[in-house]
Structures are given as C-alpha cells and as structure tokens.
Structure 1
C-alpha cells in the first residue's frame, strides 16, 4: 500500500537527499560513445547498423546487471523493466534513442537513455523498491537519418505509423529496416504499444542556445515543435552547358535555388518559424551538364499549428508559381506531419528542479523527440539540459558533466514523484470503490 510521499517510502532514508553518481554517468556516456566514435570526437551510429546493435547490447547488459527483465517489440524498441512493490500498477518510464546522425555528437538521445540507466543504478545501489514498476527504454530510429521518417519506433508504438509499412522502409542503398533489425538481433516479438505505462519522461540536451544564454540549468519543456517534412522533385531537361542558350534552358538547379531561398525568407516572416533544406540529389550531377532533375528535402517548423499550416500553404503556392513561370515540373510529397505537442506532465519536472535547487525556465522543444509521440497516450514530460553554443547534430556537440548530472538528478526525482503519485491515486481509488 502507498504510505505517503516519495520521501517516506524508504525506511531510514530521506529520499530528498538521493542523488545520481555524476562521475559514473559521464563514464557511461564516454563508453557508449566508442561505438561509432569519429575522428572529431562525435558519433556516427546510424539506426539498425552493427554499431547500433553493439550500443543496444551494452544498454541491455547494464540494465540486466541491475536486475531488469528485457523485452523487445516488433519495431525493435527495447524495454528494461524494474519491478515495483505493486506490479499491477502502471510503470513510470523514461528513455530516448541511441542512433545518431552521420556526423552526430555524443549526447543527442544517448544522454536520455543513459540518464535513465543512472536512475536505475541509483535505485539499485540504494536498494530502493518503488511502489510502481519503472521501465527504461530505447526507441528505434529516432533520428530519421538512415530510414524515414524520424521518431519511427515511438511513432509505431503509439499507433501513428503502421508497423509493416515502417519495417519495409529502405535506406538509400535499398536495405530494409526489418532485415537490419533482424541482423543485429533486435527484431522482437512483442506487439508495439503493449506496455502498461502511467507516465513517461525524457531527458535530453536542448540542442539550442536558450538555456545557456539565460544561464539556466534545466529547461522545463512545455511544448513540442510542429514539423512538416516534404520531398521535392524538380524535373527539367538536362542538356549541354556550352551549347544551350540561357533562354532555351529548363534548369532544375535554378528552380531549386529559387525555392530554397524562399524557404529561408518564409521562415523569417513568421515568429518562431524555421525552414531547412538539408538533403539534395542532383541528376546527372556533371560539371558541364545542365541539371535535369533534382530532389531535395524541406523541413518547416513552428510551435503554433495554425502558423505552420499557413507556412505550408505559402510554400506550396510558391512552388506552383515557380513551376508555372519557368515551365518546369515540380512534385511535392508532404510525407510527414507532426503536430505541435503539449507536455502535460511538465509540472512534475518543474517541481523536481525546484526541490533540488536548480535554476530553470519553461521552454519549447524545437526538435522532434520520442516523448512527443508518447504524449499521445500517457502523461509525458521532458527535461532539457544546456548545450554548448546551442550546437547539436554536430561532432562538437557538448554538454558538461555537471549539466548531465543535474539533468539526471531532475529525472530521478521526477520519476520518483510520479511513481508516488500513481501509487497514491491507485490507493485512493481502491478506498473509494465499494467492497464486493
């Protein structure tokens, strides 16, 4: 039975004094970084590669050492479960991802996974048995770099994406995700969405400069950025660059340049607007041939759904205008939309930061995260730590040992408080129900 606040659950221990081992967390981060370590000190550990498999194996090893049982679902998502006193209660869960960008850093995603491992180890070291169970997760292909879209594993888990459709996605070499998960030993048997969660929390580096600029230790994430992803294909006509006069050209590259410039201007016209072109393929990609076909990505973001919708209309309208004026074919595939998210367990994060004495501020998530999808189905919160110069998706990405420790401490106390609340709610409900 639940007997009071988190501070009273463990005899002889004031839970408010409980802290993670910051040195151990840092060593774990550096050890995990060896899988895909780049010459510049970053990580290249793409989803479902052998390196991703090795990183997953280490996570599983660490969790088993603390007494966890391990489950893997059909999308390759990993769940390490630590039993509680009452395992009929919904679990308090945390986690993030281990895959990186091709030139990624040591902290994006992996900090959230290993902050969870450090919470687990802290509970294990102190022989703390929580009332409700705890679960520690690794989500498949959050980055969306090798296989699209991003947040693929959590998206399948919550029902945003179809399992078989996503498993059959291929990378640029035509290699299927399902086959790669099988190759690394993480094509599981559990049905996605079958865990019994009562709350979910994700610790993450901010990936932006705001916390550092405001000199705050913790970001209490209230909103998640809305995202629209497009694949744009421009079809012109390739021809000789030395014999084709300018007025007779159907140059796909020039049309692309007009659209890319407009994306930058479009983002500037809206508050909190963002616009990026990060991927491009040119055909035939020859120095003295006018490009005949170009495919590129477009990424539009805004935390306001109505503003993001307006940005979509302006962008597609501009493409139609360029196609008409330049007598060129433009195909737009709006293949992914992620609506802005409200994190409704943010108050737990704020309370933990305040009780631990960390400076903090409300903030919104400019990037997509697995927690954004988990918010569909369970009370969810996010904890941000500062990121040096706001740099992420870059090999020089850096968050200090002290900042990582602070984020993990907030995660620990956030999860303990949520665990206590779930137990209290269950006890109250049981008292109110009539006896049979």
Structure 2
C-alpha cells in the first residue's frame, strides 16, 4: 500500500469544510467577513475551539510563552522532532475567513486523516496556530513564529502597544489565563521541528487565472520599507514666484518619478508601493513645507533589492526642487528560499491532482518566512477569487480547498515514511 496516497484518500473533505464554516462564526461580521484581532476575545475563543477539536482526536494540547497553540499527535518514537503543520487564526480588522485559518484547519484535517487511516508513524505530528501573524493589532506581525524561530526577542514583542494603549504582554496574560482555564498544558521552550508545512490562500490572481487548484511555493520575496521626508519652505501660494519656491510636494513628485525610473530598470517583478503620503502644513493656500511618504519595495532577489537600495540612497542625497531629503530604512526582510527537497515533495503531491501546477514565489509574508531559518520549510498555495484578501469578499472554492488539503496530506504521508 502506498502510504502517502492512502493518507490523502482518508481526508474527510466534508468535515474539513464543516470546520471552516464553524470557525468562521467566531468573530463573524455582519453581513459577512471576520474580525479576530490577535489576543482579543474572538482570537482566544478560536484557540480554545481548536484545542477542543484536537482533543476529540486524542491529541494533547500545548501553549508556549507567546501563546502559540499546538496539537500533538504522538508518534511511535516521541523523542523524534515533530512534523509541524499550521498557520494562524488571527485576522485583519475587516477580513475574510480563510487567510491563515485555512492552514490551521488543513493541519487539523491531516490529523483527522491520520486517525481515520490508523497509519503508524514514528515521529509526532503537530498542528500549530501562531500568535499575531497579521500584525493588525500589534505591529509588526508574525510575533509568535518569529520568536519561536529565534528571529525576535521576547522583550521587543511584549512591549508593543495597540491603538488603545494595551500592551501585548497584558493581552497575552489574559490569553494564557484562558488557556490555563481550558486545561491546556504549558510548554515554555521552542523546539526545532523536523519540518514545517503551511497551506495558505495565494492572495493574488495567478492560480485563478491558470485554473489551477493548488501549487507548491518555493520562497517568499524580500521587502525593504522606507520612510521619506522631503523638506522645503512654507510660503504664500499667491505671492511666491516659481523660481523662489522650495515646494516639498513638487520635490516629492520629482523624487518619486526618479524612484520609479530606477525600479523600471529591473522589470515588472519589482513591487513598488507608496502606501502613505502626507503634506505639512496641508493648507490650500500655503506652499508645502514638508512631504512625507512610505515605500514598500519587494523582490525575490536580494541582489535586486540591494541594487535598488543603493539607487534610492543616491537619489535621496540629491536636491529636488530646492528641497533636501531624509531617507530612513524602517525595515529590511531578506528573501527566503524554501527547502528544495520539501518544495519538490509538495510539488509532486500537487501534480497528482493538477499536472500543470506551477511553482510560485509568495509576494506576501507568512509565518513560514521565519520557520525557514530554523528547519526545512515549504508552503502550498490555493487560489482565492480575484486574488482578493484582507477583505470580507475573500472567497475560496470548496473543491480547490479539498484538492489543496489532499495534496498536503499526500506530502505528509510521504514525509512520515522517510
């Protein structure tokens, strides 16, 4: 008997979809959508719901110092590092029901398939829900996974504050108290998994345009975040001649044009976004004294990001419409390439269902970007309608989801017999 195939055949698609619909009621918005911010009441309820599902399968539940929740199906050799599957349960303020949660419930579906198949496996299998992946309440996101993988210190996470002045540490204390009351065991220290797998909606339009239900993901592109201040001189809009102006808006416009020209030299694979823009004093009849804006710059190649960073620094050192520029790099996250062998395992599993499936690079961050620094890591994507995510209109087709979950189970079966 082919172990991997038999495990995929044991996936209960109907129960998986029931789980998806049930979890979507926790934090549901009217008329549609989801609001489950990290460590809020709904997020904590969702954690307890997940624990309850795991217990019906005979799994032991744990939480760690960051509130990451784990369901453990024991292996024949408990000393072996576990195969870890999961994602996150928290959402954006007005979100859909699939971003993150799909990956957690895919892991739950694999646990159900393992129970139904009664296949012996040496190493344990664990499903994880990471804390605060979205960063919508406590920025930056991926708090639980970055700490677990040794990429961030606990103190920097615990000291973050939400818009209402609530500290992460205080919200976490409430969460952990609820997990304690739910009789979840405390496992304080991170461990190194055998491997980590994450299923996620693509959050883009490629798979839908190809008519493909799932694909392997070979990496996550890197990102540089910049804060730019163009400094001019405020003056009267009606009396100041053009040659005497130091117009911060005009300077910013010229600089942005130069940035875009630099980006264009590297082709359409670069993602360049100005998400914030503000003027001071922001008055109709006053020449702007300062223009501030942000840049989100992304690309799969570290070399391209470095080249563009050098170009941005050179351009910011120049004077634009008589204005000087201050450029600050607020964040740099390098690209990540997933484990090649693990990607190929997922790709082979997907192609049993979708022979024409491509391999993609993720344009968005996921918890997997941090786990990749700790253990072999890879992802699966499935399509979402029109590529829409972080919005109540986020939607997936059940048939695609069942294919993606079956491919995940197939890959898990392969890994468990290695």
TM range (shorter): 0.7 to 0.9
Distance 2:80 2:205 in 1: 39
* In structure 2, C-alpha distance between the alignment counterparts of 1:146 and 1:281, rounded to whole Å: 23
**1:342 paired residue number:** 338
**Matched pairs, number:** 410
CA distance 1:311–1:102, change in 2 (3 Å)? farther
Aligned-pair distance for 1:98? 1.6
Which stretches in structure 1 are left out of the alignment for 5+ residues?
8-13, 422-436
Ranges in structure 2 where 5+ consecutive residues have no aligned partner: 181-185
* Structure 2 Cα separation of the partners of residues 312 and 239 of structure 1: 33
CA RMSD of aligned residues (A): 3.0
Q: How much does 1:151 deviate? A: 2.4
Q: 1:224 aligns with which of 207, 220, 225?
A: 220
Q: Secondary structure at the match of 1:381?
A: strand
The residue that corresponds to 1:311 in the other structure is: 308
Equivalence map 1:391-402=2 (5 Å): 391-402=388-399
Q: Is the 8 A contact 2:220 2:362 kept in 1?
A: yes
What is the CA–CA distance in structure 2 between the aligned matches of 1:258 and 1:24, rounded to whole Å? Answer: 56
Are positions 1:412 and 2:382 aligned together? no
State the partner residue of 2:49. 58
Map 1:365-404; keep pairs closer than 5 Å.
Answer: 365-404=362-401
Instruction: Return the offset for 1:280.
Output: 5.1
Q: CA deviation at 1:96?
A: 0.7
SS at match of 2:140: coil
- How much has 1:135 moved relative to structure 2? 0.5
Q: What does residue 144 of structure 2 align with?
A: 153
Q: Deviations over 1:101-127 (max 9, x none)?
A: 233322111111111111122223444
Matched with 1:111 is 102
Structure 1 243/371 Cα, relative in aligned 2: closer, same or farther at 3 Å? same
TM-score (norm 2): 0.86
The aligned residue for residue 137 of structure 1 is 128
TM-score normalised per structure 1: 0.83
Q: Which residue, 186, 207, 213 being the options, matches 1:211?
A: 207
| Conserved 8 A contact 1:225-1:303 | yes
Determine helix, strand or coil for the equivalent of 1:107.
Answer: coil
Relative to structure 1, is the Cα distance of residues 16 and 32 closer, same or farther in structure 2, using a 3 angstrom cutoff?
Answer: closer
Q: Secondary structure at the match of 2:373?
A: coil
Residue aligning to 1:49: 40
Q: What secondary structure, in the 3-state scheme, does the structure 1 residue paired with 2:176 have?
A: coil
- Pairwise CA distance, 1:314: 2.0
Q: Alpha-carbon deviations, 1:380-406, whole Å to 9, x = none? A: 121111122222233212210011111
Of 198, 201, 216, the residue aligned with 1:202 is: 198
1:224 and 1:343 in contact (8 A); partners too: no
SS for the counterpart of 2:358 is strand
Task: Check whether the contact 2:232–2:322 (CA below 8 A) recurs between aligned residues.
Answer: no
- Provide closer, same or farther for how the CA distance between residues 401 and 5 of structure 1 changes in structure 2, counting only shifts above 3 A: closer
Residue 343 of structure 1 contacts residue 379 of structure 1 at CA under 8 Å; is this kept in 2?
Answer: yes
Structure 2 CA distance for partners of 1:43 and 1:237, relative to 1, 3 Å: farther
Q: Counterparts of 1:48 and 1:61 in 2: how far apart (Å)?
A: 18
Q: Which residue of 2 aligns with 1:15?
A: 6
8 A contact 1:221–1:343 mirrored in 2: no
Give the whole-Å Cα distance in 2 for the aligned partners of 1:407 and 1:185.
32
2:73 is matched with which residue: 82, 86, 103? Answer: 82
**What residue in structure 1 maps to residue 298 of structure 2?**
301
Query: Is the contact made by 1:230 and 1:333 (CA closer than 8 Å) also made in structure 2?
Result: yes
User: Could you say if the C-alpha distance between residues 293 and 158 of structure 1 is closer, same or farther in structure 2, counting changes exceeding 3 Å?
Assistant: farther
Distance 1:250 1:176, change over 3 A: farther
CA 1:327–1:260: 2 relative to 1, 3 Å: closer
Per-residue deviation, 1:24: 2.3
Change (3 A) 1:158 1:68: same
Provide the rounded CA distance (Å) in 1 between the counterparts of 2:139 and 2:157: 8
